[in-house]
Amino acid sequence: MACSVLEEPVDVEAQILRRALRRERVIRARLDILSFPDDFLCERYRFSAQSISYLDNILRPYITHVTHRGHALSSVHIICIALRFFANGSFLYNIGDAEHVSKATVCRAVRNVTVALKRLLYTSVVFPGHRPTRFIKEGCHKIAGFPGVIGCIDGTHIPIIAPLVNEGDYVNRKSFHSINVQIICDAANIITNVEAKWPGSVHDSQIFRECTLSTKFGHGELKIL
């Protein structure tokens, strides 16, 4: 004898309502970052509101994408996410939690800003600088009383993940993998030259001997009056 199973009637309207509630997104209001005081901004991003606005003006064409999303990140937010990562050096998800965005958003922001800055490298970083040489020398002389100085040079090791090729070349004297970066700046802490291609095991003196700037000095191409 066949058994019949009684099923409860399906409440279609209730199911539709439950699906709509599950799909509802709670969107956090975007903060006006530039409205915060400079000490707040410098503590988190290492830049003042004026400096962030300047970066926004020169980077906006390269980091803003045409989108139909109603709550897309502004160029200022993208820049500040990247600046917070550069200043903090923390994990992507930590930066995302602090800025109330996803890890993927942080990754995209850091990459887009980095690529945009690279495009402007050769017009922004110029030796001995964009100011007349006389002013650069005067600024350095006011600091230490040493005449004829047009820049201060030093090296720093940027930690990296151990590469698969020539791994030993990247182990520096402190026993971690790095890129040895040579930087020159003027009295106003403006970077005027960067060499960022040498493995961590390479000595600072070798980097300077083989850098483009040293070659130009040796050939008399750079005459600092």
The pLDDT assigned to 7 comes to 53
The tens place of each residue's pLDDT in the chain, 225 residues long, gives 555 555 555 566 666 666 655 555 555 556 789 999 999 999 999 999 999 999 999 999 999 875 556 568 899 999 999 999 999 878 899 999 999 999 999 999 999 999 999 999 989 999 998 889 999 999 999 998 999 899 999 999 999 999 999 999 999 999 999 999 999 999 999 999 999 999 999 999 999 999 989 988 888 877 666
The reported pLDDT for the residue numbered 159 is 92
pLDDT of amino acid 140: 92
Cα–Cα distance between 59 and 50 in angstroms, integer?
14
What backbone phi and psi angles, to 5 degrees, belong to 146?
-100, 120
Ordered by start, the domain boundaries in the chain are 31-121, 126-218
What is the pLDDT at residue 69?
A: 61
pTM of the model: 0.73
* Residue 148 region by backbone torsions, left for phi larger than 0, else alpha for psi between -120 and 50, else beta: left
For 35-55, b/e burial (b = at least 16 CB within 10 A) is eeeeeebeebbebebeebeeb
Helices 92-99 & 75-88 angle (0-180, nearest 10)? 130
Nearest-angstrom CA–CA distance, 118 and 22? 42
Q: How far apart are CA 50 and CA 76, in angstroms?
A: 12
Closest C-alpha to 151, from 206, 214, 202: 214
